[in-house]
């Protein structure tokens, strides 16, 4: 019986020892031993500042604070909870001195081994002479991420450099990307964060020495197939150190194409020099050195093969330095849709026209490949090119079709002296553009005239219709004209017009722009129907005159210039309306009153038939307007603004229709209270018109204003 009892006791003791071992293992029992000759320090830190659970026990005492293990020490400890990874972390710091002795180049190892399963951060601080270049070469290439972002596998690299005593953050990186090497000047600071359950047992990079790189850092990104990468400047988004240079080297096979897309940037306040981007492009690129490219300019595209991009800072203003930062994408793809559609664009006869051709993206995707446009070469291609006048160009489009290509043109016409000015100029898109299989987006004529010359825009055959959507009088054709007065201090939107109306001509003082805008492919068929003309005429006292010859079967709507913002203070606009034979024009105002309250002066409407014995109808801003006026002869309408009170606008719409002429019934006393309240005002207006008549001011139809 005694031997049996001893056996039972031995079995029980064995089970207790096994249980105790399991308990100790579950509690995180561990030993960390550091060699005396290794400059490695290990810190066991609580995850939170004031830890009150899961104590670290060493020497039989519980601790809730950081424990530091120095070279030559051995440290035994256990945790009194089964999940210490929730409460404690490890920081392993290794100092590498490349200044006082030989540098241990090669693989950076994850020492010491056998660490407990806690979240671990390995830190390498490499001290080197400021003229020495250090290179990190990655066995698993890295992907740069934005500050604050995390990696899917929770394995995070951070690379920094030592600039004097300051640490410069080169960037945060995850595994599986295109960044193959990073080079820095002088000291290096590197961290690797591993989660507690990671099976990674090597750092994944080598440290090597290089000659001076003469800049803050170089980031090498290698692409073997189609892919993209997001990269950013050092210390992003806070700004690079002052007057530093940073370079990205892109290693790309020659059969792939690269595009640079700048996503965000900020500029410093430079005291000396300027911030800039410099490109060193492949020899096959027609201009393989692009220096001083602005951050807000279009960047090179369709780059075949490897190239470098450098960001150069400046000497910043100490009082208001600003910040230099850059965030950009590089997209590498195989050449797509590189059909060689080549056109000859001949601008030899166009002495004052500038032409821009650009490629529209097919959708709103940020990195969608757009059609590239090459001028006189297939090497230097862009999404947007500008052609100057007096030359002929061979333009090649690297895409299968031209549906997303657009043309924008500007044509300057200046008159400096009435005697030498061209009396007549067609405002017609030249055939050198209408014959192209590319859609014209807009063509703008910029017209300048001296103070003693007025401008006349004429459409003798097609005539113009004013676009007034709320009255269902709309421009629905393939093109329209936006007419704007651009005289400094007197800018006015005259209106939007298109062919097929009643307006024969518009006469204006000062400078004008006329912009033809197209609407779709119908322009290709209708571009030959233009008949707009420009005339420089002797100065007229009126600011703006519309001359109309309506068809008796049509209803014509008109509205005052600057419709949305209201007529400028004291502006005066005239309509000279012809009445067809045997017809009576019925003039109607589409509002009961003028709708403006005057701060200074009065606003008036003057209406008068072009007949020697005709009476003049005058309505003031505070009076009710007539509903309808019957006009048997050609007639004038004049609307003159005052200086409106704050937030008051003068914007009016008129309507003209025609009926068969019957027995005469005159227009008398149409404006309510005219004889009682407005005699002085009427006399002043009538006297003004008399003055104009005495000065011999007549319109082209022979009627006095």
DSSP secondary structure string for all residues of 202-262: S--EEEEEES--SSSEEEEEE-SSSEEEEEE-TTTTT-PPTT-EEEEEEE--TTSEEEEEE
Altogether, the residues listed in the chain come to a count of 705
Give the CATH number of the domain where residue 609 resides.
2.60.120.290
3-state secondary structure of 523: helix
pLDDT above 60 (res 676): no
* Beta bridge partners of residue 605, listed in sequence order: 619, 639
Decide if 353 contacts 411 (C-beta within 8 A).
yes
Q: Is residue 550 part of a domain?
A: yes
Residue 668 is part of which domain span? 541-705
- pLDDT computed for residue 675 by the predictor: 33
Dist. CA 357–CA 359, nearest whole Å? 7
- pLDDT computed for residue 277 by the predictor: 94
Buried b (16+ CB within 10 A) or exposed e, 517-540: bbeeeebbeebeebebbbbbbeeb
Q: Is residue 330 part of a domain?
A: no
Q: Is residue 336 part of a domain?
A: no
Dist. CA 441–CA 18, nearest whole Å? 84
Cβ neighbors of 267 (< 8 A, separation 6 or more) are: 275, 295, 322, 324
SS (H, E, C) 34-86: CCCCCCEEEEEEECCCCCCCCCEEECCEEECCCEEECCCCEEEEEECCCCHHH
Residue range 325-341: mean pLDDT, rounded: 84
- pLDDT computed for residue 284 by the predictor: 65
Q: Is residue 238 part of a domain?
A: no
Is the N-terminal amide bond of 191 cis, ω within 30° of 0? no
pLDDT in tens, 557-588: 999 999 999 999 999 999 999 999 999 999 99
Q: 535: pLDDT confidence band, cut at 50, 70 and 90? A: very high
Which of 185, 202, 219 is the C-terminal boundary of a domain?
202
Which of 150, 176, 202 is the C-terminal boundary of a domain?
202
Dist. CA 252–CA 673, nearest whole Å? 84
Domain count, the chain: 2
pTM of the model: 0.63
Percent residues over pLDDT 90 in the chain: 65
Residue range 317-323: mean pLDDT, rounded: 92
Residue range 287-305: mean pLDDT, rounded: 84
- pLDDT computed for residue 81 by the predictor: 92
Q: Which tokens in the block code for residue 319? A: 């009082």
Q: Is residue 397 part of a domain?
A: no
Q: 238: pLDDT confidence band, cut at 50, 70 and 90? A: very high
Query: Nearest Cα to 454, choosing from 542, 573, 531?
Result: 542
- pLDDT computed for residue 664 by the predictor: 56
Dist. CA 225–CA 227, nearest whole Å? 6
Element of type H or E holding 405: strand 405-414
Chain-wide mean pLDDT for the chain?
Answer: 86
Percent residues over pLDDT 70 in the chain: 87
pLDDT above 60 (res 18): no
Q: Is residue 111 part of a domain?
A: yes
SS (H, E, C) 111-139: CCCCCCCCEEEEEEEEECCCCCEEEEEEE
Q: Which tokens in the block code for residue 185? A: 């000047």
Decide if 151 contacts 145 (C-beta within 8 A).
yes
pLDDT above 50 (res 695): no
Residue range 693-697: mean pLDDT, rounded: 35
Which of 156, 183, 202 is the C-terminal boundary of a domain?
202
pLDDT in tens, 220-235: 999 999 999 999 999 9
pLDDT above 60 (res 637): yes
pLDDT above 80 (res 320): yes
Cβ neighbors of 451 (< 8 A, separation 6 or more) are: 539
CA dihedral over 688, 483, 468, 656, signed as positive or negative? positive
> How far is residue 646 CA from its own chain's centroid?
34
pLDDT above 70 (res 72): yes
Q: Is residue 168 part of a domain?
A: yes
């Amino acid at each position: 019986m005694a031997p049996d009892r001893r056996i039972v006791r031995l079995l029980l003791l064995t089970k207790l020892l096994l249980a105790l071992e399991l308990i100790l293992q579950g509690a995180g029992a561990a030993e960390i031993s550091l060699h005396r000759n290794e400059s490695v320090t290990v810190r066991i830190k609580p995850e939170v500042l004031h830890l009150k659970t899961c104590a670290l026990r060493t020497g039989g005492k519980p601790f809730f604070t950081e424990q530091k293990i120095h070279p030559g020490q051995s440290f035994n400890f256990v945790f009194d909870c089964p999940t210490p990874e929730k409460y404690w972390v490890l920081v392993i710091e290794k100092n590498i001195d490349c200044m006082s002795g030989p540098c241990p180049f090669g693989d950076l190892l994850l020492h010491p081994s056998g660490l407990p399963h806690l979240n671990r951060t390995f830190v390498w601080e490499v001290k080197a002479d400021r003229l020495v270049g250090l290179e990190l070469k990655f066995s698993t290439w890295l992907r740069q991420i934005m500050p604050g972002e995390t990696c899917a596998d929770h394995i995070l690299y951070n690379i920094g450099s030592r600039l004097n005593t300051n640490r410069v953050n080169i960037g945060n990186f995850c595994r599986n990307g295109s960044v193959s090497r990073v080079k820095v000047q002088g000291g290096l600071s590197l961290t690797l964060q591993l989660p507690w359950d990671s099976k990674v047992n090597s750092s994944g990079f080598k440290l090597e020495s290089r000659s001076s790189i003469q800049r803050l850092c170089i980031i090498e990104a290698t692409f073997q197939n189609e892919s993209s990468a997001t990269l950013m400047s050092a210390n992003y988004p806070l700004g690079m150190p002052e007057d530093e240079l940073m370079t990205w080297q892109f290693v790309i096979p020659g059969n792939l194409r690269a595009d640079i897309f700048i996503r965000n940037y900020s500029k410093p306040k430079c005291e000396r020099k300027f911030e800039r981007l410099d490109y060193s492009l492949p020899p096959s690129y027609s201009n393989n050195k692009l220096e001083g490219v602005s951050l807000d300019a279009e960047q090179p595209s369709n780059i075949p093969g490897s190239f470098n991009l450098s960001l150069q800072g400046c000497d910043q203003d100490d009082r208001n330095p600003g910040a230099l930062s850059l965030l950009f994408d590089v997209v590498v793809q195989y050449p797509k849709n590189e059909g060689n559609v080549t056109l000859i664009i001949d601008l030899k006869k166009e002495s004052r026209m500038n032409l821009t051709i650009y490629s529209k993206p097919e959708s709103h995707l940020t990195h969608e490949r757009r059609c590239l446009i090459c001028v006189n070469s297939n090497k230097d291609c862009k999404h947007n090119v500008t052609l100057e006048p007096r030359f002929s160009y061979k333009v090649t489009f690297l895409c299968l079709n031209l549906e997303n290509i657009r043309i924008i043109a500007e044509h300057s016409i200046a008159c400096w002296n009435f005697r030498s000015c061209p009396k007549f100029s067609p405002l017609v898109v030249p055939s050198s553009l209408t014959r192209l299989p590319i859609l014209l987006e807009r063509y703008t004529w910029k017209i300048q005239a001296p103070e003693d010359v007025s401008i006349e825009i004429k459409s003798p055959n097609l005539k113009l219709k004013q676009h007034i959507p709320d009255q269902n009088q709309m421009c629905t054709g393939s093109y329209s004209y936006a007419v704007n007065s651009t005289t400094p201090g007197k800018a006015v939107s005259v209106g939007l017009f298109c062919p097929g109306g009643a307006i024969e001509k518009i006469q204006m003082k000062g400078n004008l722009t006329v912009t033809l805008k197209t609407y779709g492919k119908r322009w290709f068929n209708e571009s030959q129907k233009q008949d707009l003309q420009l005339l420089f005429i002797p100065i007229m006292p009126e600011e703006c005159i519309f001359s109309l010859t309506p068809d008796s079967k049509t209803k014509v709507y008109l509205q005052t210039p600057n419709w949305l913002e209201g007529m400028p203070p004291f502006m005066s606009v005239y309509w000279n309306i012809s009445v067809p034979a045997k017809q009576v024009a019925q003039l109607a105002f589409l509002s009961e009153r003028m709708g403006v309250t005057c701060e200074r002066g009065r606003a008036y409407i003057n209406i008068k038939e072009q007949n020697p014995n005709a009476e003049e109808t005058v309505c003031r801003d505070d009076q009710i307007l007539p509903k309808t006026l019957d006009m048997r002869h050609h007639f004038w309408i004049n609307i003159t603004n005052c200086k409106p009170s704050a937030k008051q606008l003068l914007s009016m719409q008129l309507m003209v229709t025609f009926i068969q002429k019957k027995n005469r019934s005159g227009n008398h006393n149409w404006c309510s209270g005219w004889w009682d309240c407005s005699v002085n005002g009427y006399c002043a207006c009538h006297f003004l018109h008399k003055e104009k008549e005495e000065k011999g001011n007549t319109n082209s139809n022979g009627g006095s204003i």
